[in-house]
Amino acid sequence: MRNPNRSGLLAVLAAALAFSPGSAPAISQSGELKEMRRVGHTDLQGRPAYHPNFIEYQDGRVIAFIGTHGGSAANPLRPGRPVEFNGTFIVDITDPAKPVEKFHIPGPASGAQTQSNRMCLGDDLPRGTRGHVYMMRNVQTGTLAVSGYEVWDVTNVTNPTLVGEMRGLRNTHKHWWECKTGIAYLPGSKADPRWRQGQSMVIADWSAPSNPIYLRTHGLPGGQPSGIGPVPPSLHGPISAHEHPNATGALARSATPDDVIGNRLYLAYGVGDDGVLQVLDRKKLLPLPYGTFIGSPDDPTNEQLEGPQTSILWMSPDQGGHTSFPVFGMKPNSYRDFTEFQTRDIVLLASESTSDNCREAPHWSFIVDVTVENSKTAPPGTRVQQNVWQGPMVISSMYLDPRAGEKYPRGNYCKRGARFGVHSSEENFTNPFYGRLTFLAYFTGGVRAWDIREPQTPVEVGFYVPESNALTEPDGYMTNNLEVDNRGYVLAVDRNGAGFDIIELLGMAKKIGLGQN
């Protein structure tokens, strides 16, 4: 395993050498990079990839799981190279310089997309088997008999087995799984009763990998079966802070004992337009005996849907909510001389670009200050307001000017043949850069690293823009999603088939990220 803390000088020297005696050739580098370099790559059989995630096995191996969009391709990992529907890759990244594709779990049907995945150790799941590892993935397809979520036992990375499933759900996508409780928050909705907001949030107790228990469905008011008026935007994904390392710590402006980090969920709706950021009180969201919610699990009233809401931000119609990743307890140096609000809670809120060649409005990743969740009491507000939801506010953006690409041979990012603009951020609470740096997938703009220590003025400190290869679709490379593992490596995948890159932070950017500068 490489040491993620080795000096930037050694890293630069290693990147400069084509090879050295007794070693393998060094991996090639993009001509468009700053304070970052690629240390490992695998091609993922040319399949379009979506969500990279990782887990450390009980024996110390670091294994990545990578979801894909629909399609099919030959699988050289199996005898005879059978053609398989795109599914989920299992990649051993213990040595980031030598990632090894171990297995491809095919999708269950033609056209199905298995974009998202979450993993839990059996040692953590309340009803898991010790020593085992489990992966939950979504299945998105128009066929209700197939669409839903699956749990696989992936203890043996070359022979995973399906152990649990919840079918019959519409519009599944990017979910969240609490390993210590087994509670799963699943974008989608049941077919009957039929929600107007198809991509709502199904909540299940999935503490037993083989036996999910449906608890309830949550969404925005008006999205439920009995709702009226305009249909609210769809949920893209939830993030629960229940297993944050400081889960018992108070929020920056807590008012009650329940105002702690681990009692919050952050939901992003709208994807690329009509966005909404919603913050929920986990205790009030979950039904008895898991929480305190009392109401209809399938058709709650508007009042019952608003009951667990602690905060909400309605975005501009041209911006959507793709990823809503919270960062708690920030203490910017520039606030030291002030007497109030020196500690801040923020959310990194990304709006997804959805059209090639910038044929749309520009999209941004916002920093939203949620220090004041609402004005129901003081604190968190300074006084009660007419609008009880007054509180969250956008204080800055992490916008990449497409003209920045004109410094390089490939030119303006808007004119590189695919999408340009933000897609998503990393979302790992235990990565070593948490609270100091964030990383954004910017499609043709590649991977971008931002210093967020002063959240009102974020600064880009590094980037790595991959290049097309022989497997890339005709419209070129497109960095789709990324994650940062617990060692600090950025895991990035390509939407157009260019594969999976493992990227290392270098130099001053790394020092900032590690709190050394």
How many other CB atoms are found less than 10 A from the CB of residue 396? Answer: 18
| pLDDT for res 516 | 97
Amino acid at 496: N
pLDDT tens-digit map of 451-507: 999 999 999 999 999 999 999 877 789 999 999 999 999 999 999 999 999 999 999
Name the token pair of 366.
Answer: 């916002």
Identity of the amino acid at 216: R
Q: What is the DSSP letter of 29?
A: -
**Helix/strand number for the chain, H first, E second:** 4, 33
Q: Which residues contact 340 (CB under 8 A, 6 or more apart)?
A: none
pLDDT digits (tens, 9 = 90+) for 193-241: 999 999 999 999 999 999 999 999 999 999 999 999 999 999 999 999 9
Is the CB of residue 42 less than 8 Å from the CB of residue 94?
no
| DSSP element (H, E) containing 24 | none
For 392-407, write each residue's pLDDT tens digit: 999 999 999 999 999 9
Distance from C-alpha of 469 to C-alpha of 130, rounded to nearest angstrom? 42
Are residues 115 and 173 in contact, defined by beta-carbon separation less than 8 angstroms?
yes
Dmax (CA) of the chain: 72
What pLDDT is stored for residue 16 in this prediction?
37
Distance CA 422, CA 350 (A): 7
Q: Supply the DSSP string of 125-184, one letter for each residue.
A: STTSPTT-EEEEEEEB-S-TTT-EEEEEE-SSTTS-EEEEEEESEES----EE-TTT-EE
How far apart CA 407 and CA 390 sit, in angstroms, is 42
CA proximity to 64, closest of 505, 504, 492, 506: 492
CA proximity to 103, closest of 140, 136, 78: 78
pLDDT confidence of residue 25: 55
Q: 315 pLDDT exceeds 50?
A: yes
Least confident of 24-38, 123-137, 205-219: 24-38
- The pLDDT, as a whole number, for residue 26 is 78
Tokens standing for residue 387: 């609008």
* 81/248 Cα distance (integer angstroms): 50
Q: Does the pLDDT at position 414 exceed 90?
A: yes
User: Vertex 168, ends 276 and 293: CA angle to 5°?
Assistant: 50
pLDDT tens for residues 38-59? 999 999 999 999 999 999 999 9
- Contact between 173 and 147 under an 8 Å Cβ cutoff? The reply is no
Please tell me the predicted confidence (pLDDT) of residue 353: 97
Task: State the pLDDT at residue 18.
Answer: 34
Does residue 289 have a cis peptide bond before it, meaning omega lies within 30 degrees of 0? yes
Q: What is the pTM of this model?
A: 0.94
Full DSSP string of 125-138: STTSPTT-EEEEEE
Q: Give the residue-averaged pLDDT of 378-382.
A: 94
420 pLDDT higher than 60: yes
**Is the model's pLDDT at 114 over the cut of 60?**
yes
Asked whether the bond before 193 is cis by omega within 30 degrees of 0, the reply is: yes
Residue 474 confidence (pLDDT): 74
The mean pLDDT value of the chain amounts to 94
Mean pLDDT value across residues 119-148: 97
Place of tokens 């990279």: 52
Q: Is the pLDDT of residue 177 over 90?
A: yes
